[in-house]
């Protein structure tokens, strides 16, 4: 085994995991030295957000149920202004990537610490990556001040997540692990976490599809590992494409990851043998890209960009966006290669 030079920089946050742990949120706020938190959630999660607000009691500054996919800049500004008007000294982001992304935007612009309570497997809570969408373009960046100061993983909060969204959210998490395995700044610890996270999530998803609570618990464990990998490494072609598809075409975030991931993995497999070996061990296969595509089909997840609402005529401009700004990727990124990848993903063809 050859160990290459690396840097390992652990994320500075508390993590609490277990069924019912959200009941300890008021105590957690106190431990962190915070006083009044604005609860952020999406309109679909408003009932959960208000339950969290009631549980916080005097620690709650109110609820803002306006989180949306890809964090539109105007929503971020409203959240920032609401927090200031209510005298909040922190935010509790309840939900998936939309709510936690909104919390990050407030942290970025207003400096308020965020406590994350994930209800999906997106993994955003473990990363310093923020994103804002304005005028049809999604900007992303990294800043450690957007990292939540505490994350509470309670599998009981994932029970109400619809099965279809649970499955695509799980594929979103796997995407973090896949890219971490061939990232230029990976480390042995992150690679171990990525392999275990990918294994745990893929193994749990069939159980999640039939409502098994133990499987949901295992999936939340997998999402934590996968999200931590995303937070510790550099994103590549897969995330670049998904950000372009989401920010430009407003395609749904997790389903887009689900469709695109097998094709990007196939694009990179020949150039990333160590990643292929790790995923082969995790999934007991010699073709990880095809295994992912097959798993999506077995679980009834989307497998084409066409069914997500993308027009075939959009392939060219998304491919052009993927070539803007340099970034690391195992295989060379060319317009022809990316356009062909997108054509296969649009049609719903097997990867590779």
Domains and CATH numbers, the chain: 14-158 (3.40.50.1970), 163-347 (1.20.1090.10)
pLDDT at 4: 73
For the stretch 229-246, pLDDT in tens is 988 899 999 999 999 999
Surface-to-core class of residue 76, CB atoms within 10 Å of its CB (0-12 exposed, 13-18 middle, 19+ buried): buried
Mean pLDDT of the region 182-195? 95
Q: What angle do CA 328, 242, 293 make, to 5 degrees?
A: 95
Q: How many whole angstroms separate alpha carbon 271 and alpha carbon 332?
A: 9
For the stretch 282-299, pLDDT in tens is 999 999 999 999 999 999
Q: Are 101 and 172 in contact (CB under 8 A)?
A: no
pLDDT at 1: 53
pLDDT at 340: 98
pLDDT band at 172, cuts 50/70/90? very high
Q: Is 27's pLDDT higher than 70? A: yes
Q: In what order do the strands lie in the sheet with 114-118?
A: 14-17, 150-153, 114-118, 90-95, 37-40, 60-64
Q: Is 97's pLDDT higher than 60? A: yes
pLDDT band at 141, cuts 50/70/90? confident
pLDDT at 2: 65
- 304 Cβ partners below 8 Å, 6+ apart? 259, 345, 346, 347, 348
- 293 Cβ partners below 8 Å, 6+ apart? 262, 303, 350, 351
Calculate the average pLDDT of the chain: 94
For the stretch 311-329, pLDDT in tens is 999 999 999 999 998 889 9
Q: How many whole angstroms separate alpha carbon 341 and alpha carbon 329?
A: 15
């Amino acid at each position: 085994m050859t160990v290459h030079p690396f840097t390992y920089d652990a994320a500075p946050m508390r993590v609490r995991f277990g069924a019912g742990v959200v009941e300890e949120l008021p105590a957690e706020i106190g431990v962190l030295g915070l006083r009044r938190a604005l609860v952020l959630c999406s309109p679909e999660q408003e009932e959960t957000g208000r339950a969290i607000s009631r549980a916080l009691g005097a620690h709650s500054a109110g609820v803002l149920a306006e989180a949306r996919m890809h964090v539109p800049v105007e929503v971020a500004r409203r959240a920032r202004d609401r927090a200031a008007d209510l005298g909040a000294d922190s935010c509790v982001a309840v939900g998936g990537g939309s709510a936690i992304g909104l919390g990050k935007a407030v942290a970025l612009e207003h400096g308020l610490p965020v406590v994350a309570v994930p209800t999906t497997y997106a993994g955003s809570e473990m990363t310093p990556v923020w994103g804002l969408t304005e005028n049809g373009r999604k900007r992303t960046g990294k800043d450690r001040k957007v990292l939540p100061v505490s994350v509470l993983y309670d599998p009981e909060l994932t029970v109400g997540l619809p099965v279809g969204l649970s499955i695509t959210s799980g594929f979103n998490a796997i995407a973090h692990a896949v890219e971490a395995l061939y990232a230029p700044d990976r480390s042995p610890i992150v690679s171990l976490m990525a392999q275990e996270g990918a294994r745990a999530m893929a193994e749990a998803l069939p159980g999640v599809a039939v409502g098994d609570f133990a499987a949901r618990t295992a999936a939340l464990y997998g999402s934590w590992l996968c999200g931590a990998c995303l937070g510790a490494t550099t994103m590549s072609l897969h995330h670049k494409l998904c950000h372009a598809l989401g920010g430009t075409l407003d395609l749904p975030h997790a389903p887009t990851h689900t469709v695109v991931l097998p094709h990007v993995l196939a694009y990179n497999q020949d150039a990333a043998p160590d990643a292929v070996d790790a995923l082969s061990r995790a999934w007991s296969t010699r073709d990880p890209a095809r295994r992912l595509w097959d798993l999506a089909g077995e679980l009834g997840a989307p497998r084409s960009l066409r069914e997500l609402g993308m027009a075939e005529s959009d392939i060219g401009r998304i491919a052009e966006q993927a070539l803007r700004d340099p970034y690391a990727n195992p295989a060379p990124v060319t317009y022809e290669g990316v356009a062909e990848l997108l054509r296969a993903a649009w049609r719903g063809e097997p990867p590779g």
